[in-house]
Structure 1
Amino acid sequence: MSKGIFLDRDGVLNEVLTDRVQFVNSPEDFYLLPGVGEAIHLLNKAGFKVFVVTNQGGVGLGFMAKEALIEIHNKMQQDLHEYGAVIDDIAYCPHKPHANCACRKPKPQMILDLAEKHQVDIKESFMAGDREPDIQAGKKAGVRTILIGDGILDGVDADYVFPDLLSAAKWLTA
């Protein structure tokens, strides 16, 4: 079985809520954060399977079509390819935020489904995210959790905290 890292998308891999980008609703809105390509390349070289697990309620709310989301993910893959970085698979929840579906984080279903599909050892794996639902989903799935950001989430304790994905990747691959 492989070890894996499950990554939230917005705020971990790409800009969101910045001067340049409010929300990512088209490929033109997608900008990798500094160090992300290098981070994923390091994780690839170290033998991690790398996955993206992302809530995309904008699809369910009608802000973007599924086809636009696929185009955004294609752009993400192309941008990462420039660094020799590869995402092994992407799971997304397209449902409205309060649809109570099985796949929306903080529920762990996207993580568990990808782990089963790609024969990933949950106990040797990590979930990295910048928000409470990411950390909760990781804990419920049984992976170790990494908070990307300033380390402040009320009532949720991540196992590890790093300011950005590159810092986390360097630690994971040291």
Structure 2
Amino acid sequence: MKLVILDRDGTINADSDEFIKSPEEWTPLPGALEAIARLNHAGWHTVIASNQSGLGRGLFDVASLNAMHAKMHKMLSAQGGRIDAVFYCPHSPDEGCQCRKPLPGLFEQIAERFGVDLKGTPVVGDGLRDLQAGSLAGCEPHLVLTGKGAALRGQALPPDYPSGTQVHEDLAAFADWLIARSIPKIAT
């Protein structure tokens, strides 16, 4: 199975220090939905792994989160794409769960649900904890320079990023890279 694991806020949609709390606040980043559709058309299954501590903090409820995801699915469908599953951690940072990134719990849930070994599976996120969680699960780390990642534009990656982290301008650039990498080379 060709699987890609994506962070949500800052990778697919605009992020906010005040949290994304409603469908009205959920806005896709330019080119992100089209990038997911291109990945789907190239045979890739896409899954989201997202910290949603706004639930645990009482900033929004599950119905609001589901409405945000319904909006995302509808907008993505209009582009000819899909998200195969959304995994999220609802806990606040002080709850001590195993599913909050940078811990790998969400990734373990994904591996179990899909019956796959995540070794080498691309994980794409805009922040350190996204890539740390994926790396702990054996994933291949990819940073996008959107959301929190924008602060690293033009700089060397700090040493706490997982070894082998690849950097892409945005989700569209990552999709172009992955699709090009997966095209078989023709011997001449």
Task: Decide: shared fold, TM above 0.5.
Answer: yes
What one-letter code is carried by the residue in structure 1 that aligns with 2:30?
Answer: P
- Cα distance in 1 for partners of 2:2, 2:69 equals 23
User: Structure 2, unaligned stretches of length 5 or more?
Assistant: 146-152, 181-188
Shift of 1:119: 2.9
Partner of 1:102: 98
Return the offset for 1:123.
Answer: 2.4
- Aligned pairs (5 A) from 1:116-135: 116-135=112-131
Match of 1:111 among 93, 107, 111: 107
Provide the residue aligned with 2:89 in structure 1.
93
Residues in 1 aligned to 2:9 and 2:158: alpha-carbon distance in whole angstroms? 17
Q: Distance in 2 between matches of 1:162 and 1:37?
A: 16
Query: Cα RMSD between the aligned structures?
Result: 1.6
For 1:172, the equivalent position in structure 2 comes to 178
Q: Quick check: 2:2–2:43 contact (8 Å CA) kept in 1?
A: yes
Structure 1 residue ranges without an equivalent (≥5): none
In the alignment, is the contact (CA less than 8 A) between 1:4 and 1:124 conserved in 2? no
AA aligned to 1:104 is R
The equivalent residue for 1:9 is: 8
1:100 offset after TM fit, Å?
1.2
Alignment partner, residue 149 of structure 2: none
Output the CA distance in 1 between the equivalents of 2:61 and 2:8.
18
Q: Distance in 1 between matches of 2:32 and 2:175?
A: 9
Tell me if structure 1 keeps the 8 A contact 2:48–2:87.
Answer: yes
Q: CA deviation at 1:155?
A: 1.6
3-state SS in 2 of match to 1:120: coil
Q: Is the 8 A contact 1:26 1:72 kept in 2?
A: yes
Count of matched residue positions in the alignment of Structure 1 and Structure 2: 170
- Say which one has the larger Rg: 2
Please name the residue that 2:30 is paired with: 34
C-alpha separation in 2, matches of 1:169 and 1:68: 29
1:37 Cα offset (Å): 1.3
**What one-letter code is carried by the residue in structure 2 that aligns with 1:168?**
F
| Aligned equivalents of 1:154, 1:15: Cα separation in 2 | 26
Amino acid of the residue matched to residue 47 of structure 2?
F
